[in-house]
Amino acid sequence: MGANVLIIEDEAAIVDFVVDNLRQDDHQTQSATSVREALVQLRRTRPDIVLVDIGLPDGSGLDIIRSVRGGEAGDPGVGIILLTARAEEQDRLRGFARGADDYVTKPFSYPELLARIAALHARLVRSTSHDVICVGALRVDVSARRASVDGQAIGLPAKEFELLVALARDPERVFEKTDLLERVWGYRNSRTTRTLDSHASRLRRRLEDASPGSRFIINRWGVGYALVAGV
Ligand code: CA
């Protein structure tokens, strides 16, 4: 999937070169040649990634980064790659301090720029995509830490939520107690299975209260627990 890239740079030759190449690689591109124009474009085009030159005719690219991360221009979560000259090492550090994600040094090779855009875009997509697990009537939104049954939200304490996620990631599988203890509490200790048992029984009760007559958590005596589709 292509990224929507805004290039902010006052050297026309660089803009043309980058725009031509990115378009051939199926990215969408916009460009701006000044701070003023950049702020307008940021609000108008909602880019995924912004390439920011530091030395612009009416100011510094660093000010653009500050405006973006401060929520004054466009999406504060946009990916930012600095375009810096070799002599601008201090500015590069200032750029990172203001929230730039990466940089390339001019003159840069196009494959290097493309690789950095792709890597940053993949990171952004991962961090914003929602991790949702559905098992029968149960829906677990892992990113938002919310669970519901038949659309009815269930309030769960942190460890019960994590236990639910561990079980729901692999429905029907019977997880051994020591395995669940390690996944949810992060240690191996056979003496603390009582902790797991009490959390599992509270979790089971909450799910059953939300959907009377259905069973989600199954206790396989002497082995461990499984999550099933709730019938
Ligand atoms: Ca410049």
Shared fold status for 4-126 and 132-227: no
Please state the pTM of the whole predicted model: 0.59
For ligand 1, the distance from its centroid to the CA atom of residue 58, given in whole angstroms, is: 10
Q: Kindly state the tokens that stand for 196.
A: 């797991």
Q: What is the pLDDT of residue 188?
A: 57
Q: What is the pLDDT of residue 176?
A: 92
Name 85's bridge partners. Answer: 106
Q: What is the pLDDT of residue 190?
A: 55
CATH architecture type of domain 4-126: 3-Layer(aba) Sandwich (3.40)
Judge contact between 100 and 81, C-beta under 8 A.
yes
Could you tell me the pLDDT band of residue 189, with boundaries at 50, 70 and 90? low
Name 88's bridge partners. Answer: none
For ligand 1, the distance from its centroid to the CA atom of residue 53, given in whole angstroms, is: 6
Q: What is the pLDDT of residue 192?
A: 73
For ligand 1, the distance from its centroid to the CA atom of residue 41, given in whole angstroms, is: 18
CATH number corresponding to 132-227: 1.10.10.10
Positive or negative CA dihedral for 48, 53, 59, 63? positive
Q: What is the pLDDT of residue 226?
A: 96
Domain ranges of the chain: 4-126, 132-227
Dihedral (Cα; 165, 170, 175, 180), 10-degree rounding: -30
Task: Report which of residues 93 and 125 the model is more confident about.
Answer: 93
